[in-house]
Structures are given as structure tokens and as C-alpha cells.
Structure 1
Amino acid sequence: MKRLPIVYFSDVLCVWAFFAELRLAEVRRAFGEQVEFEYRFCPVFGDVPGKIDSVWRDRGGYDGFGDHVQHAAQAFPEVALHPNLWRNVRPASSASPHLFLKAVQLAETEGKCAEGTFECALVLMREAFFIRGFDIARREVQRGVGAEAGADGAHVLGYLEDGRAHAALSADYKHAETLGVKGSPTMILNEGRQKLFGNVGYRIIEANIQELLRDPNPDRASWC
């Protein structure tokens, strides 16, 4: 059975992408083998100090941004964010955890770890920051996440040392630019014809997927 491809761009430090994990889990539960996610990263938080200085300098800086994130979480009572996010826990860049995760993804693609290891590592990486309050830009935290997900540390390190993880991450960022991805999370369907960006409700995602599964012909316009 040919599965519906969904290209999913996100930044691991983006709180909306963290909340969106709930919707992705529901997509997996509802559609199962009918869909296939292709996970890619975009650099929304590539330069955290610069982002805070340019956007939040007059709005409370890191503390103001931390308040903003906690306020956003009020719409998701099933999720309890760590109180120290952006106050005391301030990852400098999402590029570091993205790089590690690309190494895990490559290891899985090449059969060096079990199927599903990357998805597990991605979820655990987000949880390590948003729930457990760890600085996921630090390599020791990343190694702990990888081990918890079942990734072989030696294989992951190999992809980091020889530059293949860097190449894969660079390709992700370039792909995001080419497709006009403006932020995190962004879901691309129907060969780029349908783009769902930001805090999109599950029913909207579901309707788009159902319509494409009903009529997968890319030359015919969807009713959604």
C-alpha cells in the first residue's frame, strides 16, 4: 500500500511544535500505515540570544518570553511545562539538538538502530526541554536522550564526526527555504500544494489528510 507522504518541519525549541506532538500522535493513531511522516528541521531558534534581543528586548527578555510560553500552555491543560523554561534554562541554539537528531535519523535510515528510534528520540528531546527542564543544546543531555531512545551512541557519534549529520541538517534548512517554510511547525502535503503552518487544529489536519487519501491524484484540486 502506498502511503500518503507528509513532510513535517519543526524546531525542537518551538513550544507550538511541542504541543503539536499531541496532534501528530492522533494522526498516527487514526491513519496508521496510510500516512508516512518525513521529519525535517527549520532554524526558528538557531540563534536564541539574537532572537531574544531583537524580539523580546523591550518585552521582558528571557523572562518575558518564558511568561509567554507558560501562557500559551494554558490552552493545553494536559501538558505541564517546566517552570524554569527560558528563565534559568536557556539553550543557545536549536542547531545543536537538531544536528544530534539528524545523526539518529541517519543511523535509523541506514539500519544501525531499530525502526522508530528517531521518532522516539525527537519526542524525548522535546520532553527533555519542555517537561524536564534540561538544556538540550548540551551534548551530554543529547547523549542521554539518544540512549533512552535506544540509539547506539557510537553510530550516532560517527555521523557527527564525519560530517554526514551536518550535511543532512543543511539540506533540511535549505529545503525549508525552498518550500517557503515560515515557521514551526509546518506540515507540507500534496507535493507542496497544501501547507499547514502553526497552531492548526486537529480537525483541519484530519480533513486535509482524508481528502488526499480519498483522491490522491496530485493533478486534481482538493476540496479542502
Structure 2
Amino acid sequence: MQIDIFSDTICPWCLIGKRRLEAALAERPGLQAAIHWRVFQLNPMMPKGGMERQSYLAMKFGGPKNAANVYDRIRSAAMPDNIDFAFEDIVRTPNTVDSHRLIRWAAGQDRESETVEALFQAYFLRGEDIGALEVLVAAAESVGLDPAEARAFLESEALDAEVRDEDRHARSLGIDGVPCFVFNGRHALAGAQPPKVLVQMLDLAQQEAAVAVE
């Protein structure tokens, strides 16, 4: 089964959705799933260097008080998933093009989901700037990728156009928020749904695939 996940590396609901998909897959241990992470940028017009966090919160939520209310709702939703978000440690909201480039590069070395996890942990659990070269190189190294090769890749323009094209393609499909899970290219499920809902979708996609080969 192929599962395509449209996601952004600064989306807390995408980390929650990742945990919930992992829980759903654990309920179906015999299922072989190929997971691919697809590009969606929450802030496609973000400056290349990102934005200072407080300025971003003022623009996005109207200020830190409103942002704190949003954070509280996210933390409450994430409690069953055992995610300890460190929102207050984030000092910069990055442009996510380079993090998406790194994920696509890592996919060619069979480290796609591992790299996504490393980036989520760096940003949401430690408050690191995942738009910064050194942070991205460290994330690559943490999943077993060669840091010198990762640095050379990130310092180039490789895959930049492809990432931006994929973001536009996602929007052309009608995707306007993330996470969005697509199962076998047929069934889309938007949002960080509970594991039981994801299990139902896994079962449906598997049943349809079995019928198709009969």
C-alpha cells in the first residue's frame, strides 16, 4: 500500500498525524506500507530567511495571547499521542523549502520518514530553526546521512524547483490544509484523524487493492 502524506515541517498537526498513523499501522502489523511525504507549504510567501517568531505570531494569530490559546488546544489534542510541544522555545518561523528539499534528498537514500521525524523533533521539541543550514545538516547526520554530502546538497539549488512545483500541485488538487493522507492514490483523509479512523481507511484501501488483483 502506498500512503502519500501532504505535510509541512512547521505544522504541529502534521506531527500529531504522523504519530496517529504510526499507531494505526501498529494495529495492522502485517500491512506493508510505503510512505511518501509530499510538499505543502503553510507559508509559501515566507521570506527565505524566515521570520522572527513574535512578528510571525502577530501576523498569524494577532499576538502572543491568541497564539497561546492555539497552543493550549494543540497540546490538549496531542496529550494521547505523548507529544511535548516546546512552542515557547521557538524563536524563528522558517521558510520550509530547504527542509522539504532535504526530505526529498533523503528519500533517495531510504531515510525519508526518519528525516521528517528528525525535523519535527528539532523544531517542535527543541525549538530549533529548521531553516538554518547547520540545523538541517545535523538532522541529516542524526538519521545516518553523510553530513558533508547533505551540506553540499543544501548549499546548491538542487530540487528547489521541484519542491515549489509540488507545493503548487498540491493546491491544484484542492488541498488547502495539512496533514492530508492519500491511500493508494484513491482515498484522501484530511486532518490529524484518530488512529481508529486511520485504521478504517487502511482496511478500506487494502480491501480495494485485493479486489483489484483478483
Pairwise TM-score range, normalised by the shorter structure: 0.7 to 0.9
Aligned residues: 202
The Cα offsets for residues 2-37 of structure 1, whole Å up to 9 and x where unpaired, read as xx1111110110010011121122244324552211
Judged with a 3 Å threshold, the aligned counterparts in structure 2 of structure 1 residues 53 and 175 are, in CA distance, closer, same or farther, namely same
1:72 and 1:54 map into 2 onto residues whose CA distance is: 19
1:196 and 1:85 map into 2 onto residues whose CA distance is: 31
Match of 2:88 among 84, 88, 106: 84
Q: Which residue identity lines up with residue 56 of structure 1 in the other structure?
A: F
Q: Which residue identity lines up with residue 105 of structure 2 in the other structure?
A: A
Q: Normalized against structure 2, the TM-score is what?
A: 0.81
Counterpart in the other structure of 2:11: 14
Q: Which residue identity lines up with residue 168 of structure 1 in the other structure?
A: E
Q: Which residue identity lines up with residue 26 of structure 1 in the other structure?
A: A
2:22 and 2:154 map into 1 onto residues whose CA distance is: 29
2:43 and 2:75 map into 1 onto residues whose CA distance is: 19
Match of 2:206 among 210, 213, 216: 213
Q: Which residue identity lines up with residue 215 of structure 1 in the other structure?
A: E
- Partner SS for 2:38: strand
CA contact (8 A) 2:133 2:151 kept: no
User: Unaligned regions of 5+ residues in structure 1, if any?
Assistant: 109-114, 220-224
Match of 2:121 among 112, 122, 127: 127
Aligned pairs for 1:66-215 (under 5 A) are 66-77=68-79, 78-86=82-90, 89-106=91-108, 108=109, 115=110, 117-191=111-185, 193-215=186-208
CA contact (8 A) 2:6 2:39 kept: yes
Judged with a 3 Å threshold, the aligned counterparts in structure 2 of structure 1 residues 51 and 32 are, in CA distance, closer, same or farther, namely farther
**Is residue 56 from structure 1 mapped to residue 67 from structure 2 by the alignment?**
no
Judged with a 3 Å threshold, the aligned counterparts in structure 2 of structure 1 residues 206 and 33 are, in CA distance, closer, same or farther, namely closer
The Cα offsets for residues 176-207 of structure 1, whole Å up to 9 and x where unpaired, read as 1232111110111242x422111312211111
Q: Which residue identity lines up with residue 146 of structure 2 in the other structure?
A: D
Give the deviation of 1:146 after TM superposition: 0.9
2:4 and 2:142 map into 1 onto residues whose CA distance is: 26
- Partner SS for 1:195: strand
Judged with a 3 Å threshold, the aligned counterparts in structure 2 of structure 1 residues 190 and 25 are, in CA distance, closer, same or farther, namely closer
Give the deviation of 1:212 after TM superposition: 1.7
Q: Looking at both structures, which has the greater relative contact order when contacts are Cα pairs under 8 Å and sequence separation is at least 6?
A: 2
Give the deviation of 1:81 after TM superposition: 1.4
1:83 and 1:73 map into 2 onto residues whose CA distance is: 10
Judged with a 3 Å threshold, the aligned counterparts in structure 2 of structure 1 residues 153 and 32 are, in CA distance, closer, same or farther, namely farther
CA contact (8 A) 1:14 1:45 kept: no
CA contact (8 A) 2:85 2:124 kept: yes
Give the deviation of 1:45 after TM superposition: 3.3
CA contact (8 A) 1:70 1:81 kept: no
CA contact (8 A) 1:13 1:45 kept: no
